[in-house]
Amino acid sequence: MKAYIAKKLLALPLILIGVSLIVFVAIRALPGDPARLMAGPEATQEAVDAMTGRLGLDRSLPEQYASFAHGAIRGDLGISIKSKLPVVDEIAERLPFTIGLAITAYILAIGIGVPAGMIAAIHRHGWPDQAVMILASAGASVANFWLALMAMNTFSVKLGWLPLLGASSWKSFILPSITLAVLPMAVIARMTRSSMIEVMSQDYIRTAYAKGVAPRSIYWSHALRNALIPIITIVGLNFGSLIGGAVVTESVFNWPGIGRLLVDAVRYRDYPVIQGVTLVAVTGVVMMNFLAEMLIALLNPKIRLD
Amino acid sequence: MNIFHRNPSKARRLALAAAVAGSLMMPAAVMAATLNVMQSEAPRSMDPGDQTATFTAALLDPMYEGLIKRDPDLSLKPALATEWSSDPSGLVWTFKLREGVKFHDGTPFNADAVVKNFNRHLDTKRGLAASGRLRTFLESVIAVDPMTVEFKLKTQYPAFLALLSTGPCLMVSPAAEAAGTIGSQAVGTGPYKLAEYKSGEYVLQVKNTDWWGGAPKGEDEIKWTWTAEPSVMNMALQSGEVDVVNPFPSAFAAQAGANPEMKLSKTDGSAVFWVSLNTKMKPLDDVRVRQALNYATDREGIVKAFTQGFATPANSPLAPVTPGYDKSLAPYSNDVEKAKTLLAEAGYPDGFEMSTIVQEQEARIGELLQAMWAKVGVKLDVRRMESGVWSKAAFQDPAGKEADGTASAIASWSSGVNGADLQFRPLYYSASASPTGANLGFFSDEKLDGLIDKAASTLDETARNAIYVEAQKLVNEEAPHVLLFTKQDLYAASANVSGAWVIPGGLIVVKDATKE
Residues B430-469 have pLDDT tens digits of: 998 988 888 999 999 999 999 999 998 888 889 999 999 9
- Percentage of residues in chain A with pLDDT exceeding 90? 8
Sign of CA pseudo-dihedral B406, B408, B409, B413 = positive
pLDDT at A20: 82
- Segment B115-132 shows an average pLDDT of 88
Q: Tell if the CB–CB gap between B200 and A268 is shorter than 8 Å.
A: no
- Does residue A111 belong to any structural domain of this protein? yes
Average pLDDT for chain A:
84
B36 forms beta bridges with B223
Q: What is the dihedral of CA B16, B21, B26, B31, to 10 degrees?
A: 150
pLDDT for residue B26 is more than 50: no
Q: Please tell me whether residue B223 adopts helix, strand or coil conformation.
A: strand
A28, A33, A44, best to mutate vs chain B, most B CBs in 10 Å: A44
Average pLDDT score over residue span B213-218? 92
Q: pLDDT category, B349, cuts 50, 70, 90? A: very high
Amino acid occupying residue A199: V
Tell me: pLDDT of A305 over 70.
no
pLDDT band at B12 (very low <50, low <70, confident <90, very high): very low
Would you tell me how many other CB atoms lie within 10 Å of the CB of residue B83? 10
Count CB atoms within 10 A of the CB of residue B125: 8
- What is the rounded CA–CA span in Å between residue B374 and residue B360? 21
pLDDT-derived band at A41, boundaries 50, 70, 90: low
CB contact B87 to A (< 8 Å): no
Cβ-contact B352, B405 below 8 angstroms: no
Average pLDDT, chain B: 90
Query: Distance (Å, rounded) from C-alpha B59 to C-alpha B53?
Result: 10
What pLDDT score does B228 carry?
A: 86
The pairing of strands B244-246 and B34-39 is parallel
Instruction: Count interface pairs A-B at CB distance under 8 A.
Output: 148
Question: Which amino acid is residue B98, in one-letter code?
Answer: R
Q: Residue A140 is part of a domain; what is its CATH number?
A: 1.10.3720.10
The listed range with the strongest mean pLDDT (A159-173, A249-263, A289-303, B357-371) is: B357-371
pLDDT of B127 above 60: yes
Average confidence (pLDDT) over B194-210: 91
Q: Which residue among B228, B231, B435 places its CB closest to the CB of A45? A: B435
Inter-chain touch A47–B132, beta carbons under 8 Å? yes
Q: What are the tens digits of pLDDT across the range B282-309? A: 899 999 999 999 999 999 999 999 999 9
The mean-pLDDT minimum among A85-99, A194-208, B476-490 falls in A194-208
Helix (H, G, I), strand (E, B) or coil at B265: strand
pLDDT given at position B311: 94
Q: Is residue B135 within 8 angstroms of chain A, CB to CB? A: yes
First to last CA, chain B: 58
Nearest to B392 among A32, A152, A264 (CB): A32
Residue A108 lies in a domain: yes
* CB hemisphere CA count around A167 (13 angstroms): 23
A42 domain residue, yes or no = no
Its domain, for residue A192, covers 91-305
Q: Could you give the number of structural domains in chain A? A: 1
**pLDDT > 90? residue A196:** no
In a domain, A279, yes or no: yes
Residue A81 within a domain: no
Asked if the model's pLDDT at residue B11 lies above 70, the reply is no
pLDDT at A161: 86
Does residue B176 surpass a pLDDT of 90? Answer: yes
Nearest-neighbour CA in chain A from B438: distance (Å): 7
Please name the helix (run of DSSP H) or strand (run of DSSP E) that holds residue B355, with its range, or none: strand B353-359
| pLDDT of B31 higher than 50 | no
- Among A31-35, A272-276, B241-245, B413-417, whose mean pLDDT is lowest? A31-35
Strand partners, B502: B508
Cα–Cα dist B468/B425, whole Å: 12
pLDDT for residue B483 is more than 80: yes
**Could you say which of B200, B202, B388 has the minimum Cβ distance to residue A30?**
B388
pLDDT tier, B516 (very low <50, low <70, confident <90, very high otherwise)? confident
Q: Is residue A38 part of a domain?
A: no
User: Does this complex have an ipTM over 0.85?
Assistant: no
Per-residue confidence at A304, pLDDT binned at 50, 70, 90? low
**Banded pLDDT at A275 (limits 50, 70, 90):** confident
In a domain, A205, yes or no: yes
Interchain proximity A152–B132, CB inside 8 Å? no
Mean pLDDT within B399-428 = 91
User: Measured in Å, how far apart are chain A's first and last C-alpha atoms?
Assistant: 9
DSSP string, A90-154: HHHHHHHHHHHHHHHHHHHHHHHHHHHHHHHHHTTTSHHHHHHHHHHHHHHHS-HHHHHHHHIII
Q: What is the per-residue pLDDT for A42? A: 64
DSSP B386: -
Kindly state the average pLDDT of the residues B241-254: 92
Q: Read off the pLDDT band of A125 (50, 70, 90).
A: confident
Confidence of residue B80 (pLDDT cuts 50, 70, 90): very high
Q: How many CB atoms lie within 10 A of CB A244?
A: 15
User: Per the domain annotation, does A28 fall within a domain?
Assistant: no
Residues of B in Cβ contact (< 8 Å) with A155: none
